[in-house]
Amino acid sequence: MTGISLTAYGKINLSLDVLHLRADGYHELATVMQSVALGDSLTFRVNDTGTVNLECNKPELANRDNLVVKGAQLLRERFCPKQGVDIHLEKRIPVAAGLGGGSSDAAATLKALNHLWGLGLSTSSLVAIGAELGADVPFCLVGGTVLAQGIGDKLTLLKPAPTLWLVLVKPPGGLRAGEVYQCWDAGKWESNHYTPGVLAALEGGAPPYRLLQKVGNDLERAVKSLLPEAEEIEQDLLQGGALKAMVSGSGPTIIGFVADEEQAIKLANSLSNKYPEVHVTHTI
């Protein structure tokens, strides 16, 4: 086989607890991560030039700093220095949005090239390599409903969450995770420890409305400090009928949890004139 196409699914955090700052400069986390249907499409074709080439529908992303290129180069240099690949990335997940788009693209790249280049690496080996690329890459290699601990590299598979319909609203611009965590440290906030409640709801098979009573994100305080319009978006979602609204990951995207697909489409349509990036999706 010389070619393969994969979908790289986005993610949300049903909980995100920032526990403490580690000696290595990273933050110890406990977070329940969840895959969503919104995804990027990637096509990989082996070439005979021995180079890694990336094309993207958003040309500004087709550079050597893209995690897709970094992941391919890492595998190539470590296991098969003469191999090459041409990659096309069709970007749909908003960039720098707290939805794991870059990490998911990197995970798809590791899986695709493991297959195309015949590397025979196990999932656990790919997870270890993925952790070198970014904290969310290990989860994106596994997907579903997962408890992530440490810096995101210690994964425990959970009972699947019930299907949740979502409206995602991304403010103009983006936030980098590093600046959000720096703001968290400066604020000297304490964790609200959302994760135990979410875990208990999932384990007990709680219906969506009870699960939504437990979800939450410690980093919401930092995101709103850096981006005050996040609060306005949350209020717009709630006033439009969302059952719950909160920041996704390190932001700045705001998740609106709604009752069903019809409500999601109606709410998204009402907000699309005010906000440039509004997406309807659901958990998978």
What is the per-residue pLDDT across 114-129, written as a single tens digit (0 to 9) for each?
A: 999 999 999 999 999 9
**Does the pLDDT of residue 173 top 80, yes or no?**
no
Q: Kindly report the CA angle at 69 between 63 and 73, in degrees rounded to 5?
A: 135
Buried b vs exposed e over 246-265: b needs ≥16 C-beta within 10 Å? bbbbbbbbbbbbbeeeebbe
The pTM score is: 0.95
161, amino acid identity = A
Tokens of 112: 């695709």
Whether residue 187 contacts residue 174, with contact meaning beta carbons closer than 8 Å, is answered with no
Residue 98: both structure tokens together: 């707290």
Please report the domains of the chain, with CATH numbers, ordered by start residue.
Answer: 3-157 (3.30.230.10), 165-282 (3.30.70.890)
- The residue annotated as part of the active site, out of 136, 153, 218, 236, is 136
pLDDT, averaged across the chain:
96
What pLDDT is stored for residue 2 in this prediction? 87
- Band (272; pLDDT cuts 50, 70, 90): very high
Percent of the chain with pLDDT over 70: 100
Lowest mean pLDDT among 175-179, 187-191, 254-258: 175-179
Residue type at 232?
E
Q: What is the pLDDT of residue 153?
A: 86
Active-site residue, selected from the candidate residues 11, 70, 91, 111: 11
Rounded to the nearest 10 degrees, what angle do helices 261-271 and 229-239 cross at?
A: 130
Q: Of how many residues is the chain composed?
A: 284
- In the prediction, which pLDDT does 80 show? 94
If 0-12 CB within 10 Å is exposed, 13-18 middle and 19+ buried, where does residue 273 land? exposed
The beta strand positions in 188-271, using DSSP E, are 216-217, 244-247, 254-258
236 assigned to active site: no
Tokens linked to 72 = 């391919």
185 is catalytic: no
* CA-wise closest residue to 282 among 8, 6, 10: 10
CA distances from 11 to 50, 107, 232, 241 (A): 33, 12, 23, 22
What is the rounded distance in angstroms from the CA atom of residue 119 to the CA atom of residue 75?
Answer: 9
Average pLDDT value for residue range 186-213: 97
Beta strands in 49-164 (DSSP E): 52-56, 84-90, 145-150, 154-157
270 CB burial (10 A radius; 0-12, 13-18, 19+)? middle
Q: Distance between CA 130 and CA 140 in Å, rounded?
A: 9
What are 218-228's pLDDT values in tens digits?
Answer: 999 999 999 99
Separation of alpha carbons 55 and 32, rounded Å: 33
Residues of the chain above pLDDT 90, percent: 94
Q: How far apart are CA 92 and CA 101, in angstroms?
A: 9
Question: What was the pLDDT predicted at 3?
Answer: 95
